[in-house]
Structure 1
Amino acid sequence: MNPELWPTVDESTLENSVRLIYINRKKAVMMYFKRVSLEEIKQETGIVRQNVRRFIKRCMQYDQTGEVWGFRALIPQKNVNEYQLDVFNRNQKNGRKTGEFNRFLDRYPDIKDLLEDLFLGRKRRSLEPVMKVKYIHKRFIEECRKKGVTQADYPLNTEWMGYKAVQRYLRRISYEDFCRSTKRFGDDASQKARHVGEGQQNQISNLFPFQKVQFDAHRIDGFFAVELTTPEGDTVTRILRRFWILTIIDVATRNILGYSISLNQEYSASDVMHCARNAVIPHKQLELTIPGLTYHPVGGFPSEKFPEIAWSVWDIICLDNAKSHYAQMVKDRLENLIGCFMNLGPVALPMRRGIIERFFKTLEENGFHRLPNTTGSEPKDPRRKDPEQQAIQLNITYEHLKQLIDVLISNYNGTPHGGIYHQTPLELLEKRMKVSGLTPRLLEEEKRSEILFMQTIQKRTVRGSLKSGKKPYIQYEGVPYRSDQLANAAYLLNTELLLHVNVDDLRTLKAYLPDGSEFGYLTASGRWSLTAHSLQTRKSINSLVKNKVLHLTTWDDPIFVYTNYLMSQKKSKKMVNKQVRVNEESTYKPDNPPAEQTKALEEASFQNELLDKAREDQINRDKLNEMENYERMLKQFKTKM
């Protein structure tokens, strides 16, 4: 064993008398390992050979953690062995009970196991979730009596009946089994104990911009007003309830790359991809209408400030274990489109994504909690003062919220940050790129499409029948999809097509043959092709129709009928968020949509116009026929008179 590798002692902390003894002992041990004779060691240090061997033996013992004691064992009065009671020692004082408890547990290992199980909550020894020490001691005494321990025996012959010894023993267990012991203080403490402070460090060196990003969502603590139109054409003011802001932050530079707002009660997979899309697509500033609200010149988003890194993507994204993060669309788009790895951290452990959690706290304290319409961080928060009424009276609208978030995040990127030595995130990003030459990876040209971020892949079988004369079509989420090309492709009946579905706009689907070759766009039948709507809205409408809450005719636009239904639910507070979301979907217009898709929608719109005109002509003919019949009957009646 090499003493050069032993744990050392800070000699300056020892008292003078103790330090001299320690130095002399250390000198003797080192001389022994240098092959100096024991006689020379005695002459040099005054330590006899028996003590030299005893000191070396102490140094080579292991402590409770399994590490060699080393030079620490040479400190005077240092205990390196646990005290063991010697019952045969005649000098043992009768009144002293030191070591009796450990000796008792050695005699009764069942009682020792009981104490540990009750304290750590193991083996269901008790129905009590967290048993206090005094109740553990009570069970301890009961078990002692079951084992035949009398009042004349230890521990029943002591004043506290071993209570203090039990207390000390349980405290020692809590120190030795830290992770299990933290369960006594709740799930949060247990989670932290299991996942924080051990193993590899969570934040290894992150120098490269966009090397690692963190994603998370946060509820906005505030109510906002929104104006909606009733089915009768009147304008009413309603309140949007608490909703979500989703953001992606670069770990290396602390820049917020992008964000999105979700009006859903729980954010979905499509909301996650909206945020990812906004973080990659070059950002554009909003037109501000709030008096006095401005973008700071030094702020902005990375894609705005540095056009050369527009369409930058990341290598690793850290997320929590929310259900939406496991969606197939999220996995597929992150891995196959962006080309990154997903790091799904432990459940309910936000400290693994501490950077973005800290950003949300800054956003709340510097932003939403300062507004008069804030709900505060809890119902009893003193900042919460009738937020609904404040939102209506002061006309704090949803449009204001979108402008406020955009400005707050833009300005955040231009504000000095303590975590990066009081540089601004944008400054640090510029240094990493231009000084260190660390530029992020860019998304390939052929993948730079807004639609691709919201795309999921499904398989559907071509339906139809030669016998009944029903032309080929496919069914997706309760709606038939057709095209002229598919109608004339009877050879595809009962063939499974691959569908690329844009979950933001279900008016069209792009179909591929089983061998992967492109087939073309299919258009939703009837009025489903008129108004843009998401997969979530389609499912909501189908559910209401199935439960006979909504009734759709051939001539109804399902989205308008659904919107009118939401407006009629005046008592439901959640409906307001849904209607605003549907209104935003209906105005969805992607940048540079494919020409084939635009053509398919235009043809569907034209066909619907022809149907409307034919219907109107038929109604006019029916009215004209009714008038002619009425006049004929009236003329006959006058003739008979």
Structure 2
Amino acid sequence: MSRKRLTFKVIPAEHRDTSRWPKIDTSALSQEDQQRVERLMPAVQSYLDTGRLTAAAASAGICNSALLEQVGRCLTPLADGSVLGWAGLVAQLRVSPYLRSADLPAGAKASQEGAAGAFKRFLAEHPKIKDALDNAIRKGLGKGNARAAHTPAKAVWRLFKRKVEEVITDETEYPRNQINCGRRSVERYVKDMIASDARARRTAVGAATAQALGSVGSGEHSFDLVGMDQDLMGIDAHHMDFFGSIEIEGPAGPQSIAVERIWVYVVICMKTRAVHGYSVSIRTEPVAEQIELALDMASRPWAPREIKMRGVSYCEGAGFPMGCVDGLTVFAPAALRMDSAMQSFANNVLQRSRRRLGCAVSYSAIGAWYHNDTVERLFGTLERRWFHQLPTSVGTGPKDPKKTDGAAEAVRLRVSWDELLDVVEIAIANYNATSQPGLGYRSPLEVLRANYEVERQRFVPRPVMPATMLTPRLGVAIERAVVRGSCRPGRMRRPYIQVDKATYANPQLAAAFDKIGEGVIVHVHIEDMRTVEVYLENGTYLGWMTVQHKGWRQTKHSRDVRKQINRLRDAREMADTSDDFVADFLNYLADKAAVEARERPQRVSETATRLADTLRSSGAQLSDLRQRKPTEVHVPLRPVPALSHLPAPNWD
């Protein structure tokens, strides 16, 4: 191959600076090649410093053109914009791609002869075919916006074959005389182009992955924003890859029905990798309330869960920081880092959680999973060590050879949803007590204990903001209400407040007739709606108030369950009066889930999922509630207005 020789005047100054060239180690070369490199290096250095070609060539014992040839090899440009450097002086080192000079193979037996470089020469002689291949690799196959997200090499070869048949009609000409019409050459061409062309790589791996490749694994590292525990806490939700079931009484006895997969919400320290708290929900989509409950768990002392599943248990030292680490008495993060999912922007996070903890909230860019890499690594660890080992797991994806029909297996094996909650608890608690190479082969809890030892405490924890009327503890929503009641003779009614279509009162409020019509601040505990806390707008504390209707007092229920029951009552699907609304609601869901199970056996039931999540939040047992006689639903028929223009019916 002829090479355009570079001279001193046209070589850029930054390329003449050999101190920027990549170094070379000649110890692996033969003695003859080592002597050659050592003889040429001073000559090249002298020419690039002084520009005197004849003197530099004479010092190396070669002619002027030979020295310029070696300088050109050293200045061969690389893909990153740099030059090859001193490696260009190594004899017989190829510094440019091979180009075929012989004619293209022809004849019926051409596939049995050598065809080195024939494919690239063919593309050089047919630029339209080359442009068609390049566009398919860079943009994807299709027209306009209807283009494939990923174009496999096989599809590119089919396009190449069609284009070749349009131009080459003789089957004895290249590439039609090759086996499969040059399919292997096309595959290598696609692979090389993806490796060298950024636009083709973006199409091949997807926009999100290409964006991540621009920041992850690039060799550059940002400075560490955190230095101590609780400086930065990561929060994320993950849909677990396993199914559970719920057992209800069917027409022929107990019947298992598959429920939706579990959502797990975790709060993890970016510095120590310790999980401070978590929460779970059994539903189709994640909700913001669970993020608040996960933060609430992190701020309260941990107590071991009563494990019902056989074969799983806490390992030695397992648990959560609050309650397992001496000296850790407060949870006061400086900042929360969340992903860009919809639930992360809810008022529960933007207002209540941020105001209560007194911290900043930051959000990751869309598709930038590496901004929350500690959380993603946690979920990957839990799945590999625990969740993908379960028989009801659906594996890592459709191509996983261990993939099973998780819903059908959950029904067949009767894997209960509350047993899966035991697995989640044990997995996360044991993770906190498992040593990690990134922590010096210490567990997250051991790292925390080293930080909080009184004898060598490394930092003073941030103080916790006291709970006030406008900044209550986590898991509490602030509502405004009006004290209702009446003092009119004949229509007297004691003062009360109303929250979510239920009345609340206590002896102090019931005797305060002068407060009727005044506004109050209500603290609604979203996990237990049986009681609320009430303040006057001037800050006077009125105490705890209990729901007055007996049907709401019997069973613990969350605010979400209250709203579901109220919707059914408004739709006249549940009675307006009951001794236990929650029990009737659970029985209603169980009956409806049994009908869905008969229509779609071994499939996930939406109603059974609601039933399991209600049982989880209320702590009730369906077997105990079934023993109660459900309140009969008597829905009065709405009167039909008489139409005057219709004749009276003749019953004779």
TM-score (normalizing by structure 2): 0.67
Q: Is the 8 A contact 2:194 2:204 kept in 1?
A: no
- Structure 1 residues 597-626: Cα deviation after superposition (integer angstroms, max 9, x where no partner): xxxxxxxxxxxxxxxxxxxxxxxxxxxxxx
Instruction: Tell me the matched-pair count.
Output: 556
Residue 302 (1) aligns with residue 321 (2):
yes
Aligned to 2:110: none
Structure 1 unaligned blocks of 5 or more = 86-91, 589-641
Measured after TM superposition, the shift of residue 269 of structure 1 is 1.7
Aligned to 1:360: 382
Superposed CA RMSD:
5.3
192-201 vs 3-12, which deviates more? 192-201
Measured after TM superposition, the shift of residue 552 of structure 1 is 1.3
211-220 vs 302-311, which deviates more? 211-220
Residue type of the partner of 1:539?
K
Aligned to 1:621: none
Residue 282 (1) aligns with residue 304 (2):
no
Aligned in 2, Cα 1:520/1:10: closer, same or farther, shift over 3 Å?
same
Q: Is the 8 A contact 2:282 2:613 kept in 1?
A: yes
Separation (CA, whole Å) in 1 of partners of 2:482 and 2:134: 61
Separation (CA, whole Å) in 2 of partners of 1:448 and 1:76: 79
Q: Pick from 20, 23, 26: which aligns with 2:38?
A: 23
Aligned to 1:133: 156
Aligned to 2:637: none
Q: Is the 8 A contact 2:278 2:298 kept in 1?
A: yes
Aligned in 2, Cα 1:43/1:550: closer, same or farther, shift over 3 Å?
same
Q: Pick from 268, 278, 282: which aligns with 1:259?
A: 278
Residues 560-571 of structure 1 mapped to structure 2, 5 A cutoff = 560-571=583-594
Residue 77 (1) aligns with residue 92 (2):
yes
Q: Pick from 59, 64, 72: which aligns with 2:74?
A: 59
Separation (CA, whole Å) in 2 of partners of 1:152 and 1:404: 65
Residues 12-411 of structure 1 mapped to structure 2, 5 A cutoff = 12-33=27-48, 35=50, 38=53, 40-81=55-96, 93-94=102-103, 111-122=129-140, 124-125=142-143, 129=148, 130=151, 132-141=155-164, 145=167, 168-177=188-197, 180-181=200-201, 183-184=203-204, 193=213, 196-198=216-218, 201=221, 208-214=228-234, 215-219=236-240, 221=242, 223=244, 241=259, 242-286=261-305, 296=315, 298-338=317-357, 339-344=359-364, 346-347=366-367, 352=373, 353-361=375-383, 363-364=385-386, 369=389, 374-378=391-395, 388=411, 391=414, 398=418, 406-411=425-430
Residue type of the partner of 1:8?
K
SS at match of 2:279: strand
Aligned to 1:624: none
Residue 4 (1) aligns with residue 19 (2):
yes
Aligned to 2:527: 504
SS at match of 1:309: coil
Separation (CA, whole Å) in 2 of partners of 1:575 and 1:72: 70
Q: Tell me the percent identity.
A: 21
Residue type of the partner of 1:170?
V
Measured after TM superposition, the shift of residue 409 of structure 1 is 4.0
Aligned in 2, Cα 1:577/1:139: closer, same or farther, shift over 3 Å?
closer
Aligned in 2, Cα 1:199/1:498: closer, same or farther, shift over 3 Å?
farther
SS at match of 2:474: helix
518-527 vs 113-122, which deviates more? 518-527
- Structure 1 residues 151-189: Cα deviation after superposition (integer angstroms, max 9, x where no partner): 699977976877776555433322223574475578997
SS at match of 1:375: coil
Residue 426 (1) aligns with residue 441 (2):
no
Residues 580-591 of structure 1 mapped to structure 2, 5 A cutoff = 581-583=613-615, 585-586=617-618
Measured after TM superposition, the shift of residue 137 of structure 1 is 0.9
Residue type of the partner of 1:141?
V
Separation (CA, whole Å) in 2 of partners of 1:321 and 1:425: 27
558-567 vs 382-391, which deviates more? 382-391
Residue 414 (1) aligns with residue 433 (2):
yes
Aligned in 2, Cα 1:279/1:490: closer, same or farther, shift over 3 Å?
closer
- Structure 1 residues 88-146: Cα deviation after superposition (integer angstroms, max 9, x where no partner): xxxx655589888768767876544322222344473497843623312123226x64x
TM-score (normalizing by structure 1): 0.68
Measured after TM superposition, the shift of residue 288 of structure 1 is 6.3
> Of Structure 1 and Structure 2, which has the larger fraction of its residues in helix?
1
Aligned in 2, Cα 1:181/1:153: closer, same or farther, shift over 3 Å?
farther
Residue 452 (1) aligns with residue 469 (2):
no
Aligned in 2, Cα 1:502/1:527: closer, same or farther, shift over 3 Å?
same
Aligned to 1:638: none
Q: Is the 8 A contact 2:241 2:394 kept in 1?
A: no
94-103 vs 572-581, which deviates more? 94-103
Separation (CA, whole Å) in 2 of partners of 1:316 and 1:385: 42
Residue type of the partner of 1:306?
V
Q: Is the 8 A contact 1:220 1:245 kept in 2?
A: no
572-581 vs 63-72, which deviates more? 572-581
Separation (CA, whole Å) in 1 of partners of 2:287 and 2:450: 36
SS at match of 2:362: strand
315-324 vs 70-79, which deviates more? 315-324
Aligned in 2, Cα 1:577/1:111: closer, same or farther, shift over 3 Å?
closer
Aligned to 2:643: none
Separation (CA, whole Å) in 1 of partners of 2:312 and 2:95: 68
Measured after TM superposition, the shift of residue 438 of structure 1 is 3.8
Separation (CA, whole Å) in 2 of partners of 1:122 and 1:293: 49
Q: Is the 8 A contact 1:6 1:71 kept in 2?
A: yes
Aligned to 1:601: none
Residue type of the partner of 2:383?
K
Q: Is the 8 A contact 1:301 1:413 kept in 2?
A: yes
